[in-house]
Amino acid sequence: MDAFADPELESLKLAVALYGLRRKRDFAGARRGLFGEPGWDILLDLYIADRRRTEVQVSSVCLDAGVPSTTILRWIARLEQEGLIYRIADNADARRRYVRLTAEGHEMMRNILRAIAGGLPG
C-alpha cells in the first residue's frame, strides 16, 4: 500500500464503488429492490454524503434505495435505534428532514469498508 494513501479517501472510493455496483445490479436485473439490503444502502449513502460534506434528505434516501418508502422509513427508525444515524430538521423548512451518520455509525462504516478493502486482492 502506498505510504501516502489517505485511508478516508480510500474508504470513500470503495463506498462509492459498492453503491454504484448495487445500483448497476438492480438496473441490470430490471427488478429494483429484489436484492435489497436497505440498511446497508442507507449506511453507504450516508457515509458517502458525510465524506462529501453533503446533506441527504429522508425523501432522497427513499428514492435512491429502490424499495417502498415504508420499508426505508422502518430501516431509518431501526438504524436510529441502533445509534448509527439521526434525523435533523431543516431550519429553513420545517417540512424537510435530513439524515446523518452518528459518530458511531461513521466509525462502523469506516471499519467495515477497511475490512472489505483489506480482503480485496491488489
Using an 8 Å Cβ cutoff, are 14 and 112 in contact? no
Using an 8 Å Cβ cutoff, are 42 and 65 in contact? yes
Q: Is 24 helix (H, G, I), strand (E, B) or coil?
A: helix
Q: Which cell is 19 given?
A: 453503491
Give percent of the chain with pLDDT exceeding 70. 79
Could you report how far apart the first and last alpha carbons of the chain are, in Å? 9
> Average of pLDDT values for 10-31?
78
What does the pLDDT read at residue 84? 97
Q: Which cell is 104 given?
A: 458511531
What does the pLDDT read at residue 37? 83
For the stretch 31-54, pLDDT in tens is 665 666 889 989 999 999 999 999
What does the pLDDT read at residue 31? 62
pTM over 0.95: no
Least confident among 2-6, 63-67, 106-110, 118-122: 2-6
